[in-house]
Structure 1
């Protein structure tokens, strides 16, 4: 009779008769495999970045146009209009209808998509490298000749209203909007989603007027990454987009005010069984010499699965499926964000443990072992994130928007390698101090309010 096999724990598997198995030493980090980036600017003001990235016979294209509202405050009508503009940009031109655009793109294995936010209108997609001229021809056609037909505007407007209704019922949307208002007040950056009423009022005439106002080349940047000759690609852009004109430069979004420290605001969401915890503080701009130390300090606190905050409120306490901290880049700087969704009955406990972990970043600074692990994760994840043409194009585009270039990216591993544990500890003490933090909690105030307010530093938002 065969004896029953016993289950071995992970600790037992990792041990031998002579003690724990030793892990092999980590090797030196490889150089980031980045191509040279060729830059050109067309007479119409369009900036073009082109990089040769072979491996697959494709090219990735990403056009970013500054699309800020001319109003100094949040403007629901502008947000609604640009959303409908983005939805109908590929709906047809004087020479191609929607089907014609799709057919011409499909013929060269291409696709295009459009997105918009308070800062940018973006048109992005990919094609077979040999089909770049055809992709640029379609792109030039929609940029200069999109007609935004009345029936397409009406159809997309109705779909957008439905999507907004669904999104506004989601607690994460409520939390995001509450956090943005707390951070930035009435600055236009808070207008990430229009109201249904504003969308319903958008007309085709308004969309066409917005196209002439927003879709302009001066100040825009087109990034091309793929199996291409960069100089030939820039010449092709000039051929197909050189006729794109505008009577003014694209409008950049002004820098918003940084969030001020203060009480956490409790936003009442009746009947909610979960609470959304969203905390924030000013972050560190990528050009700041303290940025590498801040990045490692953030990883130690809550930036990846092995972080202190995750270990506490997920692994140890079981309050959440996930907790994450990181930076959001905004014009003129960055903001730190701490996100976790927790059950209603442990909302106060989760906030208490979060404050504890923030304080522990000062009282018990990151150790050599924690910093080494965070450093390896940061460099390794950077290498992985740049592995595809699309990810490299997106990174180059976002860096260009911040006034940085590929050399900043190329030197990033060396900067991370050079950071000392003492510098990470200093960044932790400076940027993760509980006294810098504010934020929102979205939940049922009747259920979670008494315990939260008893903790102190929590204010219940007055209902309109």
Structure 2
């Protein structure tokens, strides 16, 4: 079928209008419709209760679909050098079986409620994520309780999980992004446990099933942990179901929180040699402020305008104007007590020094040339809109609440944040830029071929060569 009504000059011959024709009228380009009013954060009305075991349970009724999302956060930090290897194997093998269920039985019971469970670990915590039909919550909780109280880590399955983990680590450490991340963590935190995000393959290979069983018994504890449920639930009834299902979870001891991280201070970037590399990885980081700080909203918006979304100054400079990279970004990384700024981009080896120069230039320009009201409004709309989108789904809301619970915040912080963003002025953004985006406030690494990039980086300054 050929559509010609209202077509542009070529529609009669081509039979369709291209994007340029659709976007124009005889008077010129079609104006964009105005943005509608921002919606407020929907009433969350969480119900929270701390069980006798010390487990904090937070439930939010969200009856959009008849399902439930589960997030269990267990602090699982450890200072011992081989702790990451044991923790990773715990997360990899915990679903292998329990005293009551084998791996197949676990999968079958979860499938019967349209559910699943996944486990991951980092230097700070063990996180169990799950979902299923709301009517199947008792089954989901029963399987979870079984894993928490009687996971067996059977020898045969454990060996296969260990081999797979060694292989994944070996492959990951061949990737430049992984190498850059590890170098950045060492530059930021030295020997702090937070720097050991990925265990050594040889440490994993040396872990025995009994090592992981002992870690589970000693460290996977309810006191200090939090469980978030979001879905088609009655909150009080759901908490009662949790109390019943997890009543046998050990009450001895306290889950282990990550030791306080050192505050970042500005110093030279470290050039890490990667001979023959055709790309360089730039990773810059500086200290920021926690979400409870009155400056946080201004820092968040300053970060967006610098490199936090596609319309940012860094993207426009490095990608759109210079063509140095496909992707450049900055974002806030949250730690238990604060936050850090992370700027990252990958560029061809030949433009490494030029890309670093332009990155520093944009940092300085953020305070020297404050944003206009239009720039600020664009970033503000993006920040508020992104927050609302993240809370629209059950999984997004559950993950957000779990992350906030880990730093002692709750739904009231979410509800009040759009208003805090709306109150930020261009002057406040400029002050935040002066304090947090000054180039000398950053440290970090450049991963690249020293024989190619070293001379120019030395001339640029602010880079420590190997």
Give the TM-score range, shorter chain: over 0.9
Residue 76 in structure 1 maps to residue 81 in structure 2: yes
Matched, 1:339 2:344: yes
Alignment of 1:358-437 (within 5 A): 358-437=363-442
Question: d(CA) in 2 for partners of 1:378 and 1:67?
Answer: 31
8 Å Cα contact 1:258/1:335 also seen in 2 = no
Q: Which residue of the other structure, out of 136, 139, 146, is the alignment partner of 1:134?
A: 139
Listed one character per residue, the Cα deviations across residues 421-445 of structure 1 (whole Å, up to 9, x for unaligned) are 1111111121111121111010111
Aligned with 1:45 (options 54, 57, 70)? 54
Pair 309,13 (structure 1): closer, same or farther in 2 beyond 3 Å: farther
Q: Does residue 1:274 correspond to 2:279, yes or no?
A: yes
Aligned with 1:58 (options 58, 64, 67): 67
TM superposition shift of 1:450: 1.0
The whole-number CA distance in structure 2 between the counterparts of 1:116 and 1:21 is 50
Q: Distance in 1 between matches of 2:385 and 2:412?
A: 18
- 2:4 maps to none
TM-aligned CA deviation for residue 4 of structure 1: 7.1
Shift of 1:406: 0.1
Q: Map of 1:85-96 to 2, 5 A cutoff? A: 85-96=90-101
1:200 to 182, 193, 205: 205
Aligned twin of 1:109: 114
Contact 2:69 2:229 in 1 (8 A): yes
Q: Which runs of 5+ in 2 are unaligned?
A: 1-9
Q: Which of 313, 321, 325 is the aligned partner of 1:316? A: 321
Moved more, 97-106 or 229-238: 97-106
In 1: Cα distance, 2:437 partner to 2:382 partner: 20
Deviations along 1:115-171, one digit per CA (max 9) or x if unpaired, are 111100111110100000011011101100001111122111111100010000000
Cα distance in structure 1, aligned partners of 2:174 and 2:80: 22
Contact 2:336/2:406 (<8 A) preserved? no
Q: 1:159-170 alignment to 2 at 5 Å?
A: 159-170=164-175
Quote the offset at 1:22 in angstroms: 3.8
Secondary structure, aligned partner of 1:96: coil
Count how many residue pairs are aligned between Structure 1 and Structure 2.
457
Supply the distance in 2 between the matched residues of 1:40 and 1:18 (Cα, whole angstroms): 62
Residue 23 of structure 1 aligns with which residue?
Answer: 32
Does the Cα contact within 8 Å between 2:91 and 2:126 map onto a contact in 1?
A: yes
Deviation at 1:246, TM superposition (A): 3.7
CA gap of 1:363–1:239, structure 2 versus 1, over 3 A, is same
Per-residue deviation, 1:103: 1.0
Could you tell me how far apart the structure 2 residues matched to 1:87 and 1:377 are?
Answer: 37
Give the secondary structure class of the aligned counterpart of 2:362.
helix
User: TM-score w.r.t. structure 1 length?
Assistant: 0.95
* Equivalent in the alignment of 1:442: 447
Q: CA offsets per residue over residues 48-68 of structure 1, 9 Å max, x none? A: 000100111100011000001
Give the conservation status (yes or no) of the 8 Å contact 1:76–1:198: no
CA distance in 2, matches of 1:199, 1:330: 26
State whether residues 54 and 251 of structure 2, in contact with CA within 8 Å, keep that contact through their aligned partners in structure 1.
no
Deviates more, 1:25-34 or 1:363-372: 25-34
Structure 1 residue aligned with 2:41: 32
Going from structure 1 to structure 2, the CA distance change for 1:100 and 1:2 (only over 3 Å counts) comes to closer
8 Å CA contact 1:48–1:221 kept in 2: the answer is yes
**Aligned counterpart in structure 2 of residue 326 of structure 1, from 319, 325, 331:** 331
How many Å apart are 1:21 and its aligned residue?
4.5
SS at match of 2:95: coil
Structure 1 residue ranges without an equivalent (≥5) = none
Q: Distance in 1 between matches of 2:430 and 2:11?
A: 56
State the 1:214 CA deviation: 1.4
Structure 2 Cα separation of the partners of residues 303 and 382 of structure 1:
14
Shift of 1:24: 3.1
In structure 2, the residue matched to 1:155 is 160
Is the CA contact 1:84–1:157 (under 8 Å) kept in the aligned structure 2? yes
Aligned match of 1:355: 360
Matched, 1:174 2:179: yes
In structure 1, C-alpha distance between the alignment counterparts of 2:409 and 2:193, rounded to whole Å? 24
Measure how far apart 1:3 and its partner are.
8.6
Q: Kindly report structure 1 stretches of 4+ aligned residues shifted beyond 6 Å.
A: 1-5, 7-13
After TM superposition, the structure 1 = structure 2 runs for residues 266-305 of structure 1, keeping only pairs within 5 Å, are 266-305=271-310
Are the structure 2 counterparts of residues 91 and 8 from structure 1 closer, same or farther at C-alpha, using a change threshold of 3 Å? closer
Judged with a 3 Å threshold, the aligned counterparts in structure 2 of structure 1 residues 259 and 11 are, in CA distance, closer, same or farther, namely: farther
